[in-house]
Amino acid sequence: MKKVTTSSLLKMKQESTKITALTAYDASFAKLFDEQGIDVLLIGDSLGMVLKGDDDTLTVSLEDIAYHTRSVRKGVERAFVVADMPFMSYSTPEQTYLSAAQLMRAGASMVKVEGGSWLLDTIKGLNERSVPVCGHLGLTPQSVHVFGGFKVQGRDDLQAERILEQAKELEQAGIQLLVLECIPSDLAAKISQSLSIPVIGIGAGAQTDGQILVMHDMFGISANYMPKFSKNYLQQTNNMREAVSQYIQEVQDGSFPSDEHSFN
Ligand code: KIV
């Protein structure tokens, strides 16, 4: 059993092997996902919505993410563990480095930050201090109040061009993984082809280098809302292990996401 690393994720992109990812927040589910062969586990600030029951991710603290990262790390043997930097935990360089150190010490192998050009120095600074970084573009939930709701991004030409440019800038600055959330499939395909680093989509069509879902959405147990881009794998399998295995298989063979779970 070889551990997933930044190098193996890059190799998967180069060999056109789809990367499978899920969010996880505790040791038991992390172990279950790891045993089924998931490649990446994200301790997402989505925990604010799916664990705490909040309307958005802004209530999540650094301590929340560190606590859940420690738990997830204990359940994982193979998967690559990424932790979200929560809202306002990377506003200044000093704060960013302290926040990242706390998450890496909790067991993350990479931290994820949401946003574009304003993060270029942040990413360089983190890399210089030996912290690998995942970018996140498109519908970045920490900006929900700027967007005026959880809305698909990049539908007009100008916005699409901007997201593509920002993806290139983030890669140039040093990110080693990129999440694209809720953007048209064509744009996500173009970005994935333009970058050398792996690109993981959620609501971004089938032509990214991999897929991620919030685990509660994949099991169809999210409290209030099932996003269009998600699929309830528990419904068709009635067994958690089989649900995860089916998700992995459908991502790997390219049948998930279908048009029904994508935007144009
Ligand atoms: O917080 C989260 O779970 C995320 C994923 C939706 C990518 O950022």
CATH topology classification for 6-261: TIM Barrel (3.20.20)
Domain parsing of the chain, residue ranges:
6-261
Q: Are strands 40-43 and 19-23 parallel, antiparallel or unpaired?
A: parallel
Whole-angstrom Cα distance, residue 34 to residue 56?
27
Task: At 84, give phi and psi (nearest 5°).
Answer: -75, 135
Say how many Å lie between the CA of residue 188 and the centre of ligand 1.
17
Protein residue whose Cα sits closest to atom 1 of ligand 1: 44
Which residue of the set 171, 181, 250, 260 is catalytic? 181
Q: Which atom from ligand 1 is nearest to the alpha carbon of 213? A: 6
Q: Which atom from ligand 1 is nearest to the alpha carbon of 44? A: 1
pTM over 0.85: yes
Say how many Å lie between the CA of residue 158 and the centre of ligand 1.
25
Query: By three-state DSSP, how is residue 27 classified?
Result: helix
Say how many Å lie between the CA of residue 16 and the centre of ligand 1.
23
Protein residue whose Cα sits closest to atom 2 of ligand 1: 44
Q: Which atom from ligand 1 is nearest to the alpha carbon of 45? A: 1
What Cα–Cα distance (Å) separates residue 160 from each residue in 4, 10, 186, 264?
32, 25, 10, 12
Q: Is 250 a catalytic residue?
A: no
Protein residue whose Cα sits closest to atom 4 of ligand 1: 44
Q: 112: annotated binding-site residue?
A: yes
DSSP string, 18-45: PEEEEE--SHHHHHHHHHHT-SEEEE-T
What pLDDT is attached to residue 164? Answer: 98
Q: Which two tokens stand for residue 205?
A: 């069509």
Q: 228: annotated binding-site residue?
A: no
Mean pLDDT per block of 10 residues along the chain (264 residues) reads 96 98 98 98 97 96 98 98 98 97 98 98 98 98 97 97 98 98 98 98 98 97 86 95 98 97 94
Q: 28: annotated binding-site residue?
A: no
Protein residue whose Cα sits closest to atom 8 of ligand 1: 44
